[in-house]
């Protein structure tokens, strides 16, 4: 397992914690498919990686949209900063998927999943999501949270 549930920081909103758990599950399934492809570089296993990646991407789009819609509705002051972080993550996901589809380089995909993605996920949740969730639950972030997220 690549991402353990216990490694995912908890935030003040249950719906966000649940979607983070789902995200980790989808990433872990993708990682298992990459390992299967390394053991047997068949077209079936390559297609399984692509399908799982696209499922994860679709889930991430919905995840980010739900947060962003709520940030807009509640007039969350650091919305542009949080939106930019989402946009950057989606751009990186697009790049990784395009590289995989072109090269079928499992090692490159595996390194993204091991070295880059978990760090980004935990950092994003620990900073921007924790502040956003507090705002969602209370109507305002603390000054310390705002300083920490910037």
pTM of the model: 0.90
Contact 135, 149 (CB under 8 A): no
Contact 133, 12 (CB under 8 A): yes
Q: How large is the average pLDDT for residues 15-29?
A: 97
Q: How large is the average pLDDT for residues 95-121?
A: 97
pLDDT reported for residue 143: 47
Q: How many CB atoms lie within 10 A of CB 76?
A: 22
**pLDDT band at residue 140 under the 50/70/90 scheme:** low
Report the phi/psi class of residue 4: left, alpha or beta, with left for phi > 0 and alpha for psi in -120 to 50.
beta
Q: Where are the domains of the chain?
A: 5-149
pLDDT reported for residue 4: 94
Instruction: Report d(CA 85, CA 145) in Å as an integer.
Output: 17
**pLDDT band at residue 141 under the 50/70/90 scheme:** low
CA–CA distances in Å: residue 62 to residues 23, 35, 56, 90, 147: 11, 27, 10, 12, 28
CATH class of 5-149: mainly alpha
Instruction: Report d(CA 97, CA 91) in Å as an integer.
Output: 10
Asked whether residue 108 carries a pLDDT value surpassing 90, the answer given is: yes
Q: How large is the average pLDDT for residues 122-135?
A: 95
CA–CA distances in Å: residue 6 to residues 29, 48, 55, 89: 17, 27, 23, 22
13: tokens are 């909103």
């Amino acid at each position: 397992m690549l991402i353990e549930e216990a490694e995912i920081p908890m935030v003040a909103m249950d719906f966000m914690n649940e979607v983070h758990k789902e995200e980790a599950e989808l990433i872990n399934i993708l990682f298992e498919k990459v390992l299967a492809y390394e053991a047997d570089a068949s077209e079936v296993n390559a297609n399984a990686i692509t399908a799982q990646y696209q499922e994860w991407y679709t889930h991430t789009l919905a995840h980010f949209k739900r947060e962003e819609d709520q940030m807009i509705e509640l007039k969350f002051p650091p919305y542009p900063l949080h939106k930019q972080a989402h946009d950057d993550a989606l751009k990186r996901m697009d790049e990784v998927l395009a590289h995989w589809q072109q090269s079928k380089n499992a090692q490159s995909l595996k390194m993204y999943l091991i070295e880059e993605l978990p760090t980004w996920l935990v950092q994003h949740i620990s900073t921007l999501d924790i502040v956003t969730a507090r705002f969602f639950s209370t109507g305002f972030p603390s000054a310390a949270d705002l300083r920490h997220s910037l």
